């Protein structure tokens, strides 16, 4: 007999305590909405915790969006952090966010959700033998847990595995390594291989545009946000020209001619790989065709003898504890702001959008919106119904007018400006208060100006540390 359901219909359930789950908990707390939160790991941080079993994190991983742009709204990363912090600093930041909002005492750690069944009056959550019914459920369990595995004919003699299980360059030392796929993880791991492997190759199916992490000494995303918003017809060629001037012709390095324009695929941000390619420590090779004994045969006929094939081929975006029929294309074409269900008032999905910028600020905004809807569902059902009716009848173009390459990754790809505008529109529609966001960009420009002035005044002085000695203090209170 199925266990009797525990009635929790006075509250919501957040599944996951990674960045999305933490942002959601802080937003529900701020809106005074009661909730439970369940996390299968023993602590907060999601995939940024390299100890979280199954996390795709590896020792050399750093943010690819800058610390300036990557912070939650109103909770900046410490100014003492480098422009692109390593994974352990991101984890420390996430923990400080949880502490500042007193979130940890409300989390049930070590509990995995097995199934979620939304229905008219709420949603049922299965946790082992326990069955609970909530007013609503927010799925915040991330998209980087189920490897996408390509298959090729032939039986390889080399070890073949997905990069999800990759942790350290020690795994590559002295081996002939082929990395398949040139997303940001593939590029990082190719750099690890370039340093320690006896031979390093990266197999690419198509050409990509490199985007440098800094433009004129400023993080690329800060640079992009600092200028005026250009119309798409001008932005794309101008940015393409800038990249060409900064990076040069990558076809000399073996990169195939991209079949798309810059900004029409997820940006490949890796300066080190360019350097390794230029020094011949790693080589770009063609797409894999098949395995033939000890060799990998490529589409251009080249044969490579390798010991280890690492598949940096991405992840399947799915929610394993939810019947996909319940989503019913909710994420398609950026519908419903990526967070709401077409069918159920009680189902929310946070953190599943693939964005061409930093994710955390959007998690803050979307969680604030979900929190408003949740509060309305409990206290003002007419307003909640009015909002959801409007949302379901409105279509948003979250691609920002870009024509994206037709890969699985880009199926639900979202432009950060389009998403921000659409979210603002939703807040305006209901006259809800937009979450306060101090303009961190101006703060950064101010620091830059200060440092430049300090540089000028130091001309001719003894070299000394230009920043005041500060501990790597993390913010402790929400601002
Ligand atoms: C190498 C790498 C670099 C990245 N760099 C950037 C970057 O520079 N900028 C950026 O914005 N994003 C980056 N990302 C994207 C990254 O996915 C997000 O930053 C962020 O971690 C997503 O947060 P999340 O909470 O949605 O998911 P996750 O971080 O995956 O957290 C999900 C949580 O849910 C828990 N969970 C899963 N299933 C269950 C269950 N059934 N029951 C209970 N708990 C469960 C997990 O244990 C985990 O704690 C990067 C990703 C990778 C892999």
Residue 427 makes CB contacts below 8 A (sequence gap 6+) with 369, 372, 433, 434
Whether 14 is in the pocket of ligand 1, judged by its Cβ within 6 Å, is no
The answer to whether residues 23 and 122 belong to one domain is yes
- Please tell me if the CB atom of residue 269 comes closer than 6 angstroms to any atom of ligand 1: no
**Do the Cβ atoms of 361 and 69 come closer than 8 Å?**
yes
Residues 72 and 124 in one domain: yes
* Cα-only R_g, the chain: 23
Contact 398, 210 (CB under 8 A): no
Q: Of 13, 14, 16, 164, which is best to mutate to test ligand 1, by the most ligand atoms within 8 angstroms of its C-beta?
A: 16
Task: Please enumerate in sequence order all residues whose Cβ is within 8 A of that of 44, keeping only pairs 6 or more positions apart, or say none.
Answer: 17, 18, 21, 22, 94, 95, 98, 103, 104, 107
Give 67-104 pLDDT, tens digit per residue: 999 999 999 999 999 999 999 999 999 999 999 999 99
Helix (H) or strand (E) run with residue 377 in it: helix 360-379
Ligand 1: atom nearest CA of 52 is 47
Question: What whole-number distance in Å separates Cα of residue 419 and Cα of residue 354?
Answer: 11
For 430, phi and psi rounded to 5 degrees? -100, 5
- pLDDT score, position 479: 32
Best of 21, 23, 47, 56 for a ligand 1 pocket test (most atoms within 8 Å of beta carbon):
47
* 65 pocket-lining for ligand 1 (C-beta < 6 Å): yes
Structural element, H or E, at residue 444: helix 440-458
CA of 140 to the centre of ligand 1 (A): 9
Tell me which residues of the chain have a pLDDT lower than 50. Answer: 460-471, 476-479
Q: Is the CB of 17 inside a 6 Å radius of any atom of ligand 1?
A: yes
Shared domain for 335 and 241, answered yes or no, is: no
Tell me what pLDDT residue 230 has: 73
Distance CA 325, CA 341 (A): 11
Residue 18 near ligand 1, beta carbon < 6 Å: yes
Q: Enter the tokens of residue 29.
A: 């707390």
Residue located nearest, by CA, to atom 27 of ligand 1: 142
CA dist 304 and 135 (Å) reads 56
Is residue 150 situated within a structural domain?
Answer: no
Residue 450 lies in a domain: no
- Residue from 14, 18, 51 to probe ligand 1 pocket by mutation (most atoms less than 8 Å from CB): 18
How many domains does the chain divide into? 2
Atom of ligand 1 nearest to the CA of 70: 11
- Residue where one domain finishes, among candidates 311, 327, 350: 311
Q: Which two tokens stand for residue 328?
A: 């019913």
Residue ending a domain, choose from 263, 290, 311:
311
- Same-domain pairing of 330 and 426: yes
Q: Is the dihedral of CA 304, 308, 314, 315 positive or negative?
A: positive
Cα–Cα distance for residue pair 12/247, rounded to 1 Å: 49
Q: Ligand 1: distance of its center to the CA of 465 in Å?
A: 36
- Cα angle 353, 44, 424 (rounded to 5 degrees) comes to 35
Q: Are strands 295-298 and 303-305 parallel, antiparallel or unpaired?
A: antiparallel
Same domain, yes or no, for 323 and 412? yes
pLDDT at 468: 36
Does 199 share its domain with 180? yes
Query: Is the CB of residue 188 below 6 angstroms from any atom belonging to ligand 1?
Result: no
pLDDT in the model for residue 466: 40
Q: Is there a domain that residue 445 lies in?
A: no
- Ligand 1 pocket, residue 113 CB under 6 Å: yes
What is the CA(52)–ligand 1 centre distance, in A? 10
Q: How far apart are CA 236 and CA 231, in angstroms?
A: 9
User: Is the CB of 37 within 6 Å of ligand 1?
Assistant: no
Q: Are residues 87 and 28 in the same domain?
A: yes
User: Domain limits at 251?
Assistant: 159-311
Ligand 1 mean position to 21 CA, how many Å?
9
Cα 165 from chain centre: 18
314 lines ligand 1 (CB under 6 A): no
């Amino acid at each position: 007999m199925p266990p009797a359901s525990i009635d929790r219909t006075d509250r919501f359930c957040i599944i996951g305590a990674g960045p999305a789950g933490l942002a959601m908990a802080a937003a529900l707390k701020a809106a005074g909405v009661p909730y439970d939160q369940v996390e299968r790991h023993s602590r907060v941080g999601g995939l940024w915790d390299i100890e979280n079993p199954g996390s795709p994190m590896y020792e050399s991983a750093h943010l690819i969006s800058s610390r300036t742009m990557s912070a939650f709204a109103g909770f900046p990363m410490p100014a003492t952090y480098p422009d692109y912090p390593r994974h352990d600093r991101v984890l420390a930041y996430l923990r400080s966010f949880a502490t500042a909002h007193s979130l940890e005492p409300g989390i049930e750690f070590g509990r995995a959700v097995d199934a979620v069944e939304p229905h008219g009056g709420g949603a049922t959550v299965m946790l082992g033998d326990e069955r609970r019914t909530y007013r609503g459920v927010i799925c915040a369990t991330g998209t980087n847990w189920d490897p996408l595995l390509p298959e090729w004919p032939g039986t390889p003699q080399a070890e073949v595995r997905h990069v999800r299980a990759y942790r350290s360059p020690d795994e590559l030392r002295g081996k002939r390594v082929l990395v398949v796929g040139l997303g940001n993880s593939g590029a990082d791991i190719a750099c690890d291989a370039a340093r320690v492997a006896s031979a390093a190759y990266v197999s690419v199916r198509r050409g990509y545009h490199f985007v440098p992490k800094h433009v004129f000494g400023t993080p690329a995303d800060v640079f992009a946000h600092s200028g005026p918003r250009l119309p798409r017809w001008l932005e794309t060629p101008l940015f393409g020209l800038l990249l060409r001037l900064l990076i040069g012709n990558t076809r000399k390095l073996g990169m195939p001619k991209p079949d798309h324009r810059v900004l029409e695929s997820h940006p490949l941000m890796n300066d080190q790989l360019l350097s390794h390619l230029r020094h011949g420590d790693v080589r770009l090779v063609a797409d894999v065709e098949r395995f033939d004994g000890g060799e990998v045969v490529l589409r251009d006929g080249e044969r490579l003898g390798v010991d280890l094939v690492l598949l940096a081929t991405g992840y399947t975006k799915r929610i394993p504890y939810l019947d996909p029929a319940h989503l019913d294309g909710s994420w398609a074409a950026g519908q419903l702001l990526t967070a709401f269900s077409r069918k159920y008032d009680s189902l929310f999905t946070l953190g599943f959008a693939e964005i061409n910028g930093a994710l955390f600020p959007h998690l803050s905004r979307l969680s604030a919106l979900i929190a408003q809807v949740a509060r309305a569902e409990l206290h003002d059902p007419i307003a909640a119904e009015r909002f959801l009716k409007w949302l379901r009848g409105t279509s948003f173009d979250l691609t920002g007018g870009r024509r994206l390459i037709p890969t699985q990754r880009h199926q639900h790809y979202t432009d950060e400006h389009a998403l921000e505008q659409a979210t603002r529109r939703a807040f305006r529609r209901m006259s809800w208060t937009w979450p306060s966001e101090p303009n961190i960009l101006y703060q950064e420009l101010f620091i830059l100006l200060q440092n430049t002035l300090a540089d000028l005044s130091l001309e001719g002085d003894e070299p000394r540390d230009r920043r005041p000695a500060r501990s790597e203090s993390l913010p402790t209170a929400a601002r």
